[in-house]
Amino acid sequence: MLQLTINGESRQFVSVTSISDLLIELSLIGKRVAVERNGEIVPRGMHAATALDSGDQLEIVVAVGGG
């Protein structure tokens, strides 16, 4: 089981191994998001290749359009 802190909230996941997996699990795939892992921005092109470890601290920001 993977223990992550996302936007300050502790969460547990069973089948998540990468940032892409996490975005799918959180229903954020296809949305414009910025992801920071342990204080460093992860470029969108690296989401699938970036493995997550228990204890990781993530900040996920969803871009919202409007006028």
Q: What is the mean pLDDT of each run of 10 residues along the chain (67 residues)?
A: 97 96 95 97 97 98 82
Give the model's pLDDT for residue 65: 77
Give the model's pLDDT for residue 67: 64
Structure tokens at 31: 């949305």
Give the model's pLDDT for residue 64: 83
**Nearest of 41, 40, 4, 48 to residue 24 by alpha carbon:** 48
Give the model's pLDDT for residue 24: 97
In this prediction the pTM is 0.91
Give the model's pLDDT for residue 37: 98
CATH classification code of 2-62: 3.10.20.30
